Structure 1
């Protein structure tokens, strides 16, 4: 997401965006907190579109740039090694600041510095935003990889472990796999295996890389072990043995 495309399909994100619009007209300092990938930096850039962005962990660089600034965005405020010094310099130079933090901070200095503290809920609490983000990331991926057909959104299980970050990676990967050729797939496998070979049982050790996708795809498509055994040309006992051997990969038994 860029700063002009903050998703507002859910109530939580819509309320945050309304507050951001209000903050654009004010000169108060604001803190945006929430999990990684929820859109904190996007919203901060919307509020202060011309401000420089610095990570709080880059303390010396941040202190050096502050005296010549009128406004600034500070990310990952929780990583600052010295809030007292940081806030003193900001106050002494009358700098307007919008900061982001990975969680809600209960600190007296934080409350004094930031008149407005804004929470961005995780995507698991904003299902309406997830669908819009999937559409946006899909269009982006299709433009990059040149795949026009997209993927089956109904069967898609979104990875929200890192919110928009993991979701975007997942959508890009799915779209990439939709366009990959057989030779490209073999090249990927070759590169993956090259540095991992070297034991005396590599064939057995890496056989699951072929068997598990084959079994998963077959069970998903043909719905039964009987049908799959016939399609693969295996007897049912052999197929069942293969499924049990790979049971740690969540295969249907």
Structure 2
């Protein structure tokens, strides 16, 4: 029952993981502080703004800070967006690059004089954009904002503690922040680490069982999935005992056998 409750909570996490923290709470880096300063100014101006950057850098959070009461729609929801433009005087459009007919959207915005703050990939290029958006904010990735990473980690730890009803502090000294998707991947990483810190052996085996149940089916599955058990065991041992010689002794393996297993699974090390 306890395991199922944790799984249910992880589903909740999956639903909220895309929510970036409030704009006010990330101001450690100079680049974010400048973006926030510009956003604060935009709250008082009736101009359209385009916020560009990679996924998970805080674009939607910043847009919501500028227009806190505006309807938020993804550009891919074309018909819904058209209806919203007919009945709103301000709107937030996310993922502008996903629009199937951006020209029509921009025509409506101009015709009805709608205040819009939009977000887009930093690779997005469109010749009409400059005519619609007076201000452009380019938000750097978290890799370029290391000061903000620590703030986000602390925030996500607190959220995870609240989510799982735990009071323990997550041990993050050995975590190498996953910034592949900026705040999305970082939040997922922190929450998973928090869960694993409190997971038991039976729960861990249940997770592996559920994973393998979906994957099994070929004639060589024992060999195909052996790395799932061996790699974590060897990596944990290397971190704990600091040498292959000591680890081979602790595992009761011939040193050459251990080396062979590490070589066979080199992509995981």
TM-score > 0.5, shorter chain as reference: yes
CA distance in 2, matches of 1:16, 1:114: 16
Matched, 1:12 2:31: yes
CA distance in 2, matches of 1:2, 1:220: 33
Aligned to 2:253: 234
| SS of match in other structure, 1:194 | helix
Aligned to 2:268: 249
Aligned to 1:132: 151
- Structure 2: which 5+ residue stretches go unaligned? 1-19
Cα RMSD over matched residues? 1.7
C-alpha distance after superposition, 1:181-216 (max 9, x if no partner): 111001001101112223333222222111111110
Aligned to 1:213: 232
* Equivalent residue runs for 1:1-253 within 5 Å: 1-3=20-22, 5-103=24-122, 105-250=124-269
2:92 touches 2:116 (CA, 8 Å); kept in 1?
A: yes
TM-score by length of 2: 0.87
2:23 touches 2:58 (CA, 8 Å); kept in 1?
A: no
CA distance in 2, matches of 1:156, 1:105: 33
| SS of match in other structure, 1:98 | strand
Distance change >3 Å, CA 2–CA 238, structure 1 → 2: closer
- Structure 1: which 5+ residue stretches go unaligned? none
Structure 1 residue 77: Cα displacement: 1.1
CA distance in 2, matches of 1:241, 1:57: 50
| SS of match in other structure, 2:173 | helix
When the two structures are aligned, how many residues end up with a matched partner? 250
